[in-house]
């Protein structure tokens, strides 16, 4: 199977798990410098020697390269995680998000159709809900993305739906909710907060601390993806979240406790593009897949801090 973005945070954790289960994995990644590419090299270093693992360096924006790759390997399954992530940067560079997240996804869908891929799994995001006004977020509920990133993910979903309708490609769209854990991207809140608390640096908090996020531990997300890959589907959308949103103030307190140091906080106004709450209704994934997140926020933060210390970050 092909995992795009396989050297990243979620993709490398997923690859490890798939290899453990005896699956053959081709990882495609362009090691872009959105954050230090050396971290991505580290993520895949231990995998390179494992039987059944192949690393291919390349860009999903290169249509002909993607087509050739899929024709050469005849993948049964594609798990498409390569993307330009990050809400804030998407306000500054919307074009980049459309190029990678929309056109890149289109290239993969076309290649999947041409090469007879059996299952196409798309890594979407809770940001497609934006400030939809209805919580918890249900897959069939209203969508109102409020950032170019959210719009790019929603457009990717619509392309997947269309390839299912036009060409019968089996597609599953997975809406991940704020994923954290070892290897988490350094631009994400938990990673940034832990780093700053450890160094005694100021944390910038946007809003009054009451915003809530449905933080989901990476191993729970990976188990959800595995369950999808092993299920039969034609057209499916699943929320993969923890379904227990945590207030920003409580998150900070949990980090202070795990690190053993107080946070120095600077309060700033709300940021445009950030919704006030994310909250997954996971009944669809629970019912169909037996999806059941296991790692709560306290244990998850402790595990993240332990990893952070081991890595000497």
The residue ranges that bind ligand NAD (CB under 6 A) are 5, 7-11, 29-32, 40, 59-61, 81-85, 100, 104, 123, 125, 176, 178-179, 185
The helix (H) or strand (E) run that includes residue 28 is strand 25-29
Burial class (CB in 10 A: 0-12, 13-18, 19+), 241: buried
Distance (Å, whole) CA 199 – CA 195? 6
Q: Which residue's CB is nearer to ligand NAD, number 43 or number 269? A: 43
Catalytic residue among 53, 97, 149, 180: 149
For residue 97, indicate whether it is catalytic.
no
Distances (CA, A) of 142 to 85, 115, 135, 159: 22, 34, 10, 18
Bridge partners for 261 per DSSP: none
> To 10 degrees, the CA torsion angle through 276, 278, 279, 283?
150
Q: Which residue's CB is nearer to ligand NAD, number 7 or number 229? A: 7
Q: How far is the CB of 257 from ligand NAD (least distance, A)?
A: 22
Q: Which residue's CB is nearer to ligand NAD, number 80 or number 200? A: 80
Q: How far is the CB of 247 from ligand NAD (least distance, A)?
A: 18
Nearest residue to 216 (alpha-carbon basis) of 188, 246, 244, 241: 241
The SS3 of residue 141 is coil
Q: Which residue's CB is nearer to ligand NAD, number 123 or number 224? A: 123
Q: How far is the CB of 275 from ligand NAD (least distance, A)?
A: 13
Q: Which residue's CB is nearer to ligand NAD, number 82 or number 229? A: 82
Whether 134 contacts 141, CB under 8 Å: yes
Burial class (CB in 10 A: 0-12, 13-18, 19+), 27: buried
266 backbone dihedrals φ, ψ, rounded to 5°: -115, 125
Distance (Å, whole) CA 8 – CA 239? 21
Distance (Å, whole) CA 34 – CA 31? 9
| Residue of this chain nearest to ligand NAD (CB atom) | 8
Q: Which residue's CB is nearer to ligand NAD, number 30 or number 170? A: 30
Active site residues: 149
């Amino acid at each position: 199977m092909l995992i795009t973005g396989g050297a990243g945070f979620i993709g490398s954790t997923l690859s490890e798990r798939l290899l453990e289960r005896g699956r053959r994995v081709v990882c495609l990644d362009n090691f872009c410098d959105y954050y230090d590419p050396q971290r991505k090299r580290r993520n895949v270093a231990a995998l390179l020697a494992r039987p059944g693992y192949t690393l291919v360096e390349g860009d999903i924006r290169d249509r002909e390269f993607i087509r050739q790759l899929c024709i050469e390997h005849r993948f049964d399954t594609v798990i498409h995680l390569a993307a330009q992530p990050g809400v804030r940067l998407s306000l500054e560079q919307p074009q980049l998000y459309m190029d990678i997240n929309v056109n890149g996804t289109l290239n993969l869908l076309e290649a999947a159709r041409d090469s007879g891929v059996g299952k196409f799994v798309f890594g979407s995001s809770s940001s497609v809900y934006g400030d939809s006004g209805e919580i918890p977020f249900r897959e069939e509920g209203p969508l109102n993305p409020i950032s170019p990133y959210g719009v790019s993910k929603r457009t990717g979903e619509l392309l997947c739906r269309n390839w299912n309708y036009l060409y019968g490609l089996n597609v599953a769209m997975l809406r991940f909710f704020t994923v954290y854990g070892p290897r988490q991207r350094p631009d994400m809140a938990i990673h940034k907060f832990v780093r700053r608390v450890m160094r005694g640096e100021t944390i910038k908090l946007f809003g009054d601390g009451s915003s809530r996020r449905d933080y989901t531990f990476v191993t729970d997300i990976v188990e959800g993806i595995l369950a999808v890959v092993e299920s039969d589907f034609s057209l499916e959308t699943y929320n993969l979240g923890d379904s227990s949103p945590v207030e920003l103030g409580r998150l900070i307190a949990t980090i202070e406790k795990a690190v053993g140091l107080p946070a120095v906080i600077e309060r700033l106004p709300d940021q445009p593009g950030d919704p006030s709450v994310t909250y997954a209704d996971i009944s669809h994934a629970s019912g169909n897949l037996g999806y059941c997140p296991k790692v709560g926020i306290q244990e998850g933060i402790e595990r993240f801090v332990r990893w952070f210390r081991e890595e000497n970050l």
